[in-house]
Structure 1
Amino acid sequence: MNVKNYLSKGHDFLITVKAPGKLYIAGEYAVVETGYPAILVALNQFVTVTVQESNDYGSIYSKQYQENSLFWKREGNNMVFDNRDNPFHYILSAIRLTESYAQLLGKQMKCYHLKIDSELDSPDGKKYGLGSSAAVTVATIKALCRFYQLSISKDQLFKLAAIAHLDIQGNGSLGDIAASVYGGWIAYRSFDRKWLRSARHQLSLKKLISVAWPQLQIELLTPPKNLKLLIGWTGSPASTSHLVDAVGVKIAENKAGYQHFLHESKACLKRMIKGFQSQSLLLIQKEIRYNRKLLQTLGNLSNVQIETPLLRQLCESAEQSHGAAKTSGAGGGDCGIVVIEQQIDTHDLLDSWEKAGIEQLDLHVHQVID
């Protein structure tokens, strides 16, 4: 039986949940280090997961993910696959971890059909860089917790999703997981991943998601009322995992330069967070501009193109309209963000984007209610 047809026949007891995508506002690259801050937003574009109990067999279906690229490299004569950009591996990791947790709580395992529908990776293959792997991990765990009638807090959901995601990606800050779980604007400081690796051998999963994680901080932010966020997509998808790897290799050769970048990024983000706390758009914009310069410096330091020519054009045109702009996330393509005053007319800016081949993404910040 085709699961797509099965789930569309109107059967009862469907469980449906969704998790939002994200965008980084500031703090990229530095946030992969323990305790370093970043600011992110959750967006009103979602991954939706539907679960339906089955009596005989289970299945996983997604029209977006049925044909997904695989990356591989050579280690000697062996072909080694890199699964970090393949959403199905995050789904399977989320399933394994949630079912392990459910069994610890005495739940009986069942068969089920799992359907994933993503607005973050469009049917025609466009990848916007909105954190689909994080959102699908969060949505899958959330759906299965409801399926197995497990009551979990947002903090516990974050921790389960972070572990499942880290098992596949290996690197990264997990800030995208936080945005997908908590929603809105958040200040995020990454936890000690070395501690987590050790704690997983010493603590049960039930205990692990209940204890405090060293250095982890997640703070909800309220933006100034006159702040407007614009998002531009350059039409060139980028792989966060591969960019973070590439920067990591190069910065090992220039530790002093990297430490300076980390120090300045932390100071910049602390000031930017104060801008949110004091409702100062001007302070936020000032630090957005400084964070852009820091990322440009990191790109030069690591010989990795973080700000592509089209992203540079996006930023410069925004500055001409009195907005503060920068790359979002790992750069190398994907999106740029603009923080601008609500009252400013942005028609000329958006016209210049359209002429340059930059697509405005008509997205808004999403607040997670439940």
Structure 2
Amino acid sequence: MISVKAPGKLYIAGEYAVVEKGNPSIIVALNQFITVSIEKSNDYGSIVSKQYSENSIYWKRIDNKIIFDNRDNPFHYILAAINIVETYAQSMSKNLKTYHLKVDSELDNSDGKKYGLGSSAAVTVATVKALCQFYDIDVSKDELFKLSAITHLEIQGNGSLGDIAASVYGGWIAYEAFDREWLKQMRPNLSIKELINKKWPYLRIEPLTPPTNLKLLIGWTGSPASTSQLVDKVSSEKSSKENEYQEFVQKSKACLERMIKGFYNKNLETIQREIIINRKLLHQLGQITNVIIETPSLKKLCDIAIENGSAAKSSGAGGGDCGIAIANSDNNEITKILNEWENNNIKQLNLEIHKN
């Protein structure tokens, strides 16, 4: 039995602009995980999730191809990961096997609602990592990121892949997206082995160390949102307002560069100031594209934190899910923030940073 886990993530800053190559963001990995287990089987294989037990699927291997007994299943990222890793394994002369693959997620609440912690990215990373171990393929973090990124893009088709980076590297990271168009052009012409050995244009993944007095507070509004749909909406609207959109991208880049310097200099005040600026920039993007990024619940979450001496903004694509507050751990108002969140039906997610 092989069992591996991958953490969920939360965007701190740089959302939407990070979709453009070479634009920075800051992301954290959290101590909530998706666990993927693989056990060799001699006859049929299965993919089972406690969260989706009614949709468990079974398969057989015929002529090195996986043949499913049912066509309608929710496991697209897992299936794509199987395809990518097994293609990679075959290029290394590994014999393909049959197995039972089990998924267990902590990234949803008890009702099955997503917290917005990057479950699709985490399940992709965990599946790729588990399969590499199963086939006795030694992969570095860089290689794991690239295999997982290729897998994720084949299904989602958009996004920055920063959530993949957070699941692979852990901790706080500065992330800049690679050139997805370059990858799209290279994909049909290179083997997976050749592709992951290449330098990917614009890709940057760098660990960050926060100031010791930085306290991250996470609030969940109880309203799940679809990142891919929101990114699609922004993408479709931006073309008619290209100048305003490019101005947003450039201002976001400058904001994040200043924020990252705040991490280098262990300056909490700089980080808090730029968090508030980033929030305003996301407001402007929402107005440009007619997309609701900061919902009324997220606005309430942010306003409560700011009124009590912290910096706050929505996290990720917005439209629901989580918001964050960056507080000073010495701030006596943290308890007041959490109490007021609770009074406004905002659930604190009491999570810690996970370091791989």
Same fold (TM over 0.5): yes
2:264 is aligned with what amino acid? Q
Distance in 2 of aligned mates of 1:48 and 1:35:
31
For the Cα contact (< 8 Å) 1:64–1:122, is it kept in 2?
Answer: no
Residue of structure 2 equivalent to 1:283: 270
- My pick for the range that moved more, 344-353 or 232-241, is 344-353
Matched residue of 1:53: which SS? Answer: strand
1:306 is aligned with what amino acid? I
Residue of structure 2 equivalent to 1:164: 151
Residue of structure 2 equivalent to 1:347: 335
Q: CA RMSD in A?
A: 1.0
Alignment of 1:35-184 (within 5 A): 35-66=22-53, 88-184=75-171
- How many angstroms does 1:123 deviate by? 3.8
For the Cα contact (< 8 Å) 1:87–1:132, is it kept in 2?
Answer: no
- How many angstroms does 1:202 deviate by? 2.2
1:213 is aligned with what amino acid? W
- My pick for the range that moved more, 199-208 or 138-147, is 199-208
- 1:338 is aligned, of 313, 325, 332, to 325
For the Cα contact (< 8 Å) 1:87–1:136, is it kept in 2?
Answer: no
- 1:231 is aligned, of 199, 206, 218, to 218
Matched residue of 2:75: which SS? Answer: helix
Runs of 4+ with >4 A deviation: none
Distance in 2 of aligned mates of 1:229 and 1:144:
34
Residue of structure 2 equivalent to 1:240: 227
- My pick for the range that moved more, 199-208 or 349-358, is 199-208
Residue of structure 2 equivalent to 1:217: 204
Residue of structure 2 equivalent to 1:364: 352
TM-score between the two structures when normalised by the length of structure 1: 0.90
1:19 is aligned with what amino acid? A
Matched residue of 1:149: which SS? Answer: coil
Matched residue of 1:337: which SS? Answer: strand
Structure 2: gaps of 5 or more residues: 56-72
- My pick for the range that moved more, 341-350 or 145-154, is 341-350
Structure 1: gaps of 5 or more residues: 1-13, 69-85
Matched residue of 1:254: which SS? Answer: helix
Distance in 2 of aligned mates of 1:60 and 1:297:
43
Task: State the Cα deviation string for residues 208-257 of structure 1 (Å, max 9, x = none).
Answer: 10111000000000000000000000000000011111111111110111
- How many angstroms does 1:344 deviate by? 1.1
- 1:23 is aligned, of 4, 10, 13, to 10
Matched residue of 1:229: which SS? Answer: strand
For the Cα contact (< 8 Å) 1:42–1:183, is it kept in 2?
Answer: yes
- How many angstroms does 1:87 deviate by? 5.5
- How many angstroms does 1:169 deviate by? 0.2
- How many angstroms does 1:100 deviate by? 0.4
2:279 is aligned with what amino acid? R
For the Cα contact (< 8 Å) 1:317–1:349, is it kept in 2?
Answer: yes
Q: Is 1:34 aligned to 2:5, yes or no?
A: no
Distance in 2 of aligned mates of 1:307 and 1:118:
27
Residue of structure 2 equivalent to 1:249: 236
Distance in 1 of aligned mates of 2:53 and 2:117:
19
Residue of structure 1 equivalent to 2:64: none
Matched residue of 1:329: which SS? Answer: coil
Residue of structure 1 equivalent to 2:70: none
Task: State the Cα deviation string for residues 164-195 of structure 1 (Å, max 9, x = none).
Answer: 00000000000000000000000000000111
Identify if the C-alpha distance between structure 1 residues 248 and 364 changes in structure 2 by more than 3 Å, giving closer, same or farther.
Answer: same
Distance in 2 of aligned mates of 1:108 and 1:168:
26
Distance in 2 of aligned mates of 1:66 and 1:327:
32
- How many angstroms does 1:66 deviate by? 3.8
- How many angstroms does 1:67 deviate by? 5.5
Distance in 1 of aligned mates of 2:46 and 2:188:
31
Matched positions, count: 338
Distance in 2 of aligned mates of 1:50 and 1:92:
15
Matched residue of 1:115: which SS? Answer: strand
Task: State the Cα deviation string for residues 293-326 of structure 1 (Å, max 9, x = none).
Answer: 0000001111111000110010010001111000
Identify if the C-alpha distance between structure 1 residues 67 and 326 changes in structure 2 by more than 3 Å, giving closer, same or farther.
Answer: farther
Residue of structure 1 equivalent to 2:311: 324
Distance in 2 of aligned mates of 1:243 and 1:66:
28
Task: State the Cα deviation string for residues 132-185 of structure 1 (Å, max 9, x = none).
Answer: 000000000000000000001000000000000000000000000000000000
TM-score between the two structures when normalised by the length of structure 2: 0.94
Residue of structure 2 equivalent to 1:6: none
